[in-house]
């Protein structure tokens, strides 16, 4: 099948796509992927549309050749009833307006099932992108409502292509759902050209503030390493404002920590340029976009989580199994700057070679061009 048009269901991506900082809210990794892929598919000659939340921009806008179709306002409707209207009705209307050959959706949730059902009814192809290891294991998904979990699993089982981030996710999907998937790399944005900046951030931590990201461990590491300068970046997630305030208060008590709160994605590049080491403390991940951001800037990572053991196998930083080991790794890399630069340069070459957005976008088209039954437990193509 030759793909001529593709629609990305990326409801949170409007601020990043439009560059409208007045509409900015916390930018997640999936929104970054949505915009990078949209631009790459556009550059490959496809008609690209994105379904986004309504920020008052109008039903349809064009941004650099990409159609942005508004589905519904994030806060519109009455509790309980709003899933049916305006959310379901608005999303279905936007799916129809896109009129695409292929629909691509992430992250896991009710809209996975809605998009899959639409594609099944209208004979369009559906691509689901796994965003976390938790997407691959029943009852571990970070999905609040039973209804939404069931809709997600309905959509997962009806995807024409399931794109996994890692071999580990691929094995989990086969083990728990009996579903086949393809590992497709994440897309990395090349660093923006900037004037040389001083490396005045020893340790950089960037993530949305929620418990699975464990920012409190970054603060504990800062307390253990008072001579190192830590910078933490992260905005509050919906319903977690109290948690955000707790972290902000704890950070303010440490003299070697700068807590910036939410920072526009466009401004984060400058922080990576200034960083010596990037720190990840998550308990659950898929493949962090922040790893790619660090690597393209020549910054090694220190992490508990190592997707498919890439960090260890390719010497892209240091991995740790305990807080003591992580403390030692941070101290060693900041102290031995020559070694850190060597790791960072290796990471930069690796990311630019393996994760370029045009290469990743082309990989999806290659898989979709293989017009044969794919990825169904029952062997049907939908």
What are 127's strand-pairing partners? Answer: 104, 161
Answer for the pair 79, 85: CB distance below 8 angstroms, yes or no. no
| Residue ranges of domains in the chain | 5-187+357-369, 201-354
Query: What are 95's two structure tokens?
Result: 């799916």
pLDDT category of residue 379 using cuts at 50, 70 and 90:
very low
Distance in angstroms (rounded) separating the CA atoms of residues 133 and 284: 7
| Confidence check: pLDDT of 356 > 90 | yes
Mean pLDDT of 274-278: 96
For the chain, report the end-to-end CA distance as a whole number of angstroms.
Answer: 14
| Confidence check: pLDDT of 372 > 60 | no
Q: For residue 24, what pLDDT is reported?
A: 52
Query: Mean of the per-residue pLDDT values for the chain?
Result: 91
Q: For residue 374, what pLDDT is reported?
A: 46
pLDDT in tens, 1-21: 789 999 999 999 999 999 886
Answer for the pair 218, 349: CB distance below 8 angstroms, yes or no. no
Residues above pLDDT 90, as percent of the chain: 79
> How far, in whole angstroms, is CA 9 from its chain's centroid?
14
pLDDT in tens, 21-39: 655 566 788 999 999 999 9
DSSP per position, 109-160: SHHHHHHHHHHHHHT-EEEEE--SGGGGSTT-S----HHHHHHHHHHHHT-S
| Confidence check: pLDDT of 376 > 60 | no
Out of 53-57, 221-225, 375-379, which region has the weakest mean confidence (pLDDT)? 375-379
Was domain 201-354 assigned CATH 3.30.1330.10?
A: no
> How far, in whole angstroms, is CA 306 from its chain's centroid?
16
Contacts of 60 (CB under 8 A, 6+ apart): 67, 68, 69, 70, 97
pLDDT in tens, 331-343: 999 999 999 999 9
Answer for the pair 166, 183: CB distance below 8 angstroms, yes or no. yes
Query: What are 124's two structure tokens?
Result: 């369009």
What class is the 5-187+357-369 domain? Answer: alpha beta
pLDDT in tens, 297-352: 999 999 999 999 999 999 999 999 999 999 999 999 999 999 999 999 999 999 99
| Confidence check: pLDDT of 110 > 80 | yes
pLDDT category of residue 214 using cuts at 50, 70 and 90:
very high
Distance in angstroms (rounded) separating the CA atoms of residues 370 and 382: 15
- Are both 5-187+357-369 and 201-354 of the same fold? yes
| Confidence check: pLDDT of 381 > 70 | no
Q: For residue 216, what pLDDT is reported?
A: 96
Structure pTM?
0.90
Q: For residue 74, what pLDDT is reported?
A: 84
Contacts of 273 (CB under 8 A, 6+ apart): 191, 194, 197, 297
pLDDT in tens, 228-260: 999 999 988 877 889 999 999 999 999 999 999
Answer for the pair 53, 72: CB distance below 8 angstroms, yes or no. yes
Distance in angstroms (rounded) separating the CA atoms of residues 262 and 11: 19
> How far, in whole angstroms, is CA 333 from its chain's centroid?
27
Query: What are 12's two structure tokens?
Result: 């949170």
Decide the pairing of beta strands 275-280 and 301-303: parallel
Answer for the pair 291, 297: CB distance below 8 angstroms, yes or no. no
């Amino acid at each position: 099948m030759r793909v001529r048009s593709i629609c990305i269901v990326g409801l949170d991506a409007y601020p990043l796509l439009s560059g409208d900082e007045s509409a900015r809210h916390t930018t997640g990794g999936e929104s970054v992927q949505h915009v990078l892929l949209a631009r790459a598919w556009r550059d490959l000659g496809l008609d690209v549309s994105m379904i986004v939340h309504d920020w008052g921009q109008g039903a349809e806008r064009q941004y650099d050749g990409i159609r942005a179709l508004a589905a519904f306002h994030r806060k519109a409707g009455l509790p309980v009833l709003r899933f049916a209207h305006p959310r379901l009705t608005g999303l279905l209307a936007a799916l129809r307006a896109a009129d695409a050959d292929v629909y691509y959706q992430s992250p896991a949730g009710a809209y996975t099932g809605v998009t899959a059902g639409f594609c099944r009814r209208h004979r369009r192809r559906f691509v689901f992108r796994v965003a976390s290891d938790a997407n691959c294991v029943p009852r571990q998904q970070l999905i609040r409502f039973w209804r939404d979990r069931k809709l997600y699993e309905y959509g997962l089982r009806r995807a024409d292509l399931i794109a996994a981030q890692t071999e580990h996710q691929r094995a989990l999907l086969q083990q728990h759902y009996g579903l086949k998937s393809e590992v497709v790399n994440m897309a990395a944005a090349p660093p923006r050209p900037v004037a040389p900046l001083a490396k005045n951030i020893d340790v950089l931590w960037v993530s949305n503030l929620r418990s699975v990201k464990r920012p409190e461990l970054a603060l504990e590491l800062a307390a253990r390493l008072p001579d190192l300068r830590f910078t933490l970046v992260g905005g509050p997630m919906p319903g977690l404002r109290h948690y955000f305030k707790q972290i902000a208060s704890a950070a303010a008590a440490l003299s070697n920590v700068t807590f910036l709160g939410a920072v526009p994605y466009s401004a984060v590049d400058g922080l990576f340029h200034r960083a010596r080491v990037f720190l990840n403390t998550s308990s659950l991940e898929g493949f962090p976009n922040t790893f790619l951001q660090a690597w393209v800037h020549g910054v090694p990572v220190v992490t508990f989580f190592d997707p498919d053991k890439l960090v260890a196998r390719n010497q892209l930083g240091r991995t740790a199994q305990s807080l003591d080991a992580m403390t030692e790794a941070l101290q060693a890399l900041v102290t031995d700057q020559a070694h850190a630069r060597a790791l960072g340069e290796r990471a930069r070459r690796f990311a630019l070679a393996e994760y370029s957005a045009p290469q990743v976008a082309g990989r999806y088209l290659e898989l979709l061009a293989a017009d044969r039954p794919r990825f169904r437990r029952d062997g049907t193509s939908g």
